[in-house]
A = this chain, B = another copy of it.
């Protein structure tokens, strides 16, 4: 696969972002949803910030309080054996590796704008910030689907109630309307198709079941974008392959002559995240036509292999112009990058089922 990584990569890094509070530091500007708005390319960045801790033995965890709309700061001592601090992203109870009790940072969404898709200017203020009881640990990994003049923005909403997917919409990237939680916990990596197919909207989603089942890609349908049903498993993990551990949708699916093309992420059990592709039937997107046997992008550049959580390439949005896929992607849970791929080459690389 010929991959043209932009010379400007990483396009945005935490150093480019002014924290939204003086006592906080930015540790991530990554996993951005992407849209064309007028003559601008918009990256809706997931910004991760944490309270500055002057004591290296104290870790501070920020929590949004929906009662008074203020952040509260939990302080934990790294010597406290009640907790497991081994994952840099989460704080777990010792002996309970599957679940977490706190996050090490608070994520919210902020806009970066560009005329050329290479050089971005960051908005001064947050665009979408935690605002209710389902978002007290933050909001993460937005995707943007444009339908007519409305941009639907949906993201993981994280709270002690679980991780689900909530949605807002905007027409101007200034004001937003809130639509509540569209996929109940535990769910992430929702991708809404940009048009109706045979009278129905479709979305990919990624449930995480507890008792039985795996983090795999499902598909659902809707008539109004707010309520979803007829859930069906779509794409399964593959033992021994790059998508053997977990997977989820990536960029908003886009239409090609051969089918709906979805760029999705897969990870191995040792958390190496790559991007691949799957082709879905144009008339019935619940039908898989073809799929990547090898990744179309894997972590190789230093900004992809090293960082807050290394060996991760994770796309939440792409712009397709003719034969060129401009795939924007988060790197190492730290920064944003972009790579161009040939649509034809991606389609030809797929293995038909």
Binding site for B on A (CB under 8 A): 98-101, 133-134, 137, 158-164, 179-187, 205, 207-213, 216, 218, 220-224, 226-233
A64 to chain B, nearest CB (A): 15
- Residue from the list B161, B226, B229 in contact with A230, Cβ < 8 A: B226
- Residue from the list B133, B180, B186, B232 in contact with A209, Cβ < 8 A: B186
- Known interface pairs A137-B212, A163-B212; 12 further A-B residue pairs with C-beta atoms within 8 A, sorted by A's residue number: A98-B98, A160-B212, A179-B230, A180-B232, A181-B229, A181-B231, A184-B218, A185-B209, A208-B209, A227-B227, A227-B228, A228-B229
Nearest B residue to A90 via CB reads B211
Nearest B residue to A228 via CB reads B227
**Which residues of B are found within 8 Å of A185, using beta-carbon distances?**
207, 209, 213
A132 to chain B, nearest CB (A): 10
- Residue from the list B180, B210, B223 in contact with A227, Cβ < 8 A: B223
Q: Please state if B231 and A229 are interface contacts (CB–CB under 8 Å).
A: no
- Residue from the list B161, B212, B223 in contact with A213, Cβ < 8 A: B161
Q: A228-B227, A229-B228 are in contact. Are A207 and B98 (CB under 8 A)?
A: no
- Residue from the list B100, B213, B220, B227 in contact with A221, Cβ < 8 A: B227
**CA gap between A161 and B229 in the complex, in Å:** 16
**Which residues of B are found within 8 Å of A98, using beta-carbon distances?**
98, 210-211
- Residue from the list B210, B221, B224 in contact with A208, Cβ < 8 A: B210
**CA gap between A210 and B96 in the complex, in Å:** 11
Choose among A98, A160, A228 the residue with the greatest number of B CB atoms under 10 Å from its CB: A228
A140 to chain B, nearest CB (A): 12
Q: Please state if A213 and B186 are interface contacts (CB–CB under 8 Å).
A: yes
**CA gap between A159 and B133 in the complex, in Å:** 32
Q: Top 4 A-B pairs ranked by shortest CB distance? A: A162-B213, A162-B209, A227-B227, A227-B229
**CA gap between A79 and B158 in the complex, in Å:** 42
A-B contact pairs, 9 of them (CB 8 A): A98-B211, A134-B232, A160-B212, A161-B233, A163-B213, A179-B230, A184-B184, A227-B230, A228-B228
Q: Please state if B212 and A101 are interface contacts (CB–CB under 8 Å).
A: yes
**CA gap between A179 and B137 in the complex, in Å:** 35
**CA gap between A127 and B339 in the complex, in Å:** 55
**CA gap between A46 and B146 in the complex, in Å:** 45
Q: Please state if B181 and A212 are interface contacts (CB–CB under 8 Å).
A: no
- Residue from the list B99, B181, B226 in contact with A211, Cβ < 8 A: B99
Q: Please state if A224 and B223 are interface contacts (CB–CB under 8 Å).
A: yes
**Which residues of B are found within 8 Å of A179, using beta-carbon distances?**
229-230
A236 to chain B, nearest CB (A): 9
Q: Please state if B181 and A230 are interface contacts (CB–CB under 8 Å).
A: yes
Q: Please state if A207 and B184 are interface contacts (CB–CB under 8 Å).
A: yes
**Which residues of B are found within 8 Å of A223, using beta-carbon distances?**
223-224, 227
Q: Please state if A180 and B210 are interface contacts (CB–CB under 8 Å).
A: no
A262 to chain B, nearest CB (A): 18
- Residue from the list B184, B224, B227 in contact with A205, Cβ < 8 A: B184
